[in-house]
Amino acid sequence: MLEKIKSTLTSTLSLYPSNDEKNRIASVLIVIYGSEPKILMTKKSQILKLHAGEIAFPGGKYESEDADLLETALRETREEVNLSIRNEHIIGQLQPVTTLNSRFTIHPFVAVVKRLPRLKDNPEVETILNIPLFPLLRTMSPDMDPTHQSIKEMYTFTYNNHLIWGASARMLKQINDVFLHSGLLEQKPSNAL
């Protein structure tokens, strides 16, 4: 299954932000792994000033010392969950998404690996989540929260008692759409995880 996911999500990388970028820049790493594919996400700590308690992919703000956006995603993943991903595991990139409140343009990179080592979070991360990928994608619903309606297409995903919304949900929606188009995912209703 990982080989099918790789071939479906493989794309050209765009390592640098555009010159007309009005927002702050960030990168995240979407890590898919395992024989029954899972996706790595985190619940952010409640102590953070931005995005406290939200479910997100490992990543963060682009720093001037970073060689490019991919280095940002790899560095932040190491810092947040003690996971080092090698460049050869990076298979592609999704379209950038912009956060509504904090005005970040987030560049999502995709990595596929066979397995993950034991991960260790840092104070920015409350919980590391290893979420079954296909069951998660089947929980997609329109986001009915009126405070999120300034963007036309808003969605939520559910895992256990965790609600995934906003930029992370828009990234998952991109994966969902690619999988539906390629036949990797059948569109059928499912209960939340």
Across the range 5-31, mean pLDDT stands at 90
Q: Residue 181: its pLDDT value, please?
A: 94
Q: Is the pLDDT of residue 131 over 70?
A: yes
User: Within 10 Å of residue 116's Cβ, how many Cβ atoms?
Assistant: 16
CA 2/CA 184 separation, integer angstroms: 11
Counted residue by residue, the chain has a size of 193
Q: What is the pLDDT of residues 144-158, one digit of tens each?
A: 766 655 555 689 999
Q: What is the pLDDT of residues 50-76, one digit of tens each?
A: 656 789 999 999 999 999 999 999 999
CA 1/CA 34 separation, integer angstroms: 9
Run of H or E including 178: helix 166-182
User: Within 10 Å of residue 92's Cβ, how many Cβ atoms?
Assistant: 18
The confidence band for 20, taking pLDDT boundaries of 50, 70 and 90, is low
Domains in the chain: ranges and CATH: 2-132 (3.90.79.10)
- 3 to 10, 78, 149: CA distances (angstroms): 10, 25, 36
